[in-house]
Amino acid sequence: MCRMRLATPIYRLTSIHPKMVVLDPTSAKIFTPKEDVSYGIVIIDCSWQKVDEVFLQKIKGKRVRLPLLVATNPVHYGHIGVLSSLEAAAAALYLVSEREQAKEMLKIYKWGPNFLALNKDLLDAYLEAGCEEGILEVEKKVFGVGGERVKADLSDAPKR
């Protein structure tokens, strides 16, 4: 994303502003359409094998996880919640009503547009739900899991 000038790299965790939204797949709090992303959205690009290690570090910012979505990247295709950084960024943008920017961002890989096609109904349901409780209800209805199960499901995900 940085090479395509769609994102700005941050090289030190200390450079993260406290009002930035940090997408953290281990967080108990959920990213909602009401998030204030005016200071930016931080996506920490790391291997899923190192997620627990990376997110144990002290990171400034509001740490939230995305609602559950289905990955379409070639490594984790079809896995729930195991998104690439690109998919995570696009989902966050879509949820804060930056749909066109999300679509443009996904075009950098040929599999990218499939992410919105596959998850559009789900993203729209999360938008309609609006709040954390509503999003948890949608997750429970669609995936049959509550927020407490998400961490366990992600830690059991295949790590490639």
- pLDDT for 27 equals 83
Q: Is 11 exposed, middle or buried (0-12, 13-18, 19+ CB in 10 A)?
A: exposed
The CA distance from 33 to 64, in Å, is 12
Q: Tell me 81's DSSP state.
A: S
Helices then strands, counting H and E runs in the chain, come out as 6, 3
The pLDDT value recorded for residue 119 is 94
- CA–CA separation, 129 vs 143, rounded Å? 16
**Positions of the chain with pLDDT under 70:** 1-11, 46-47, 50-56, 146-160
Q: What is the pLDDT at residue 125?
A: 94
Which amino acid, 85? S
Domain ranges of the chain: 13-155
Looking at residue 121, its pLDDT comes to 92
Which run of H or E residues covers position 88? helix 85-95
Distance CA 56, CA 131 (A): 26
* Token pair of 144 as six digits: 């049959």
Residue 46, pLDDT score: 65
Kindly report, residue by residue over 96-134, the tens digit of the pLDDT: 988 898 888 899 888 888 999 999 999 999 999 988 999
pLDDT of 156: 54
Q: Which two tokens stand for residue 139?
A: 């997750």
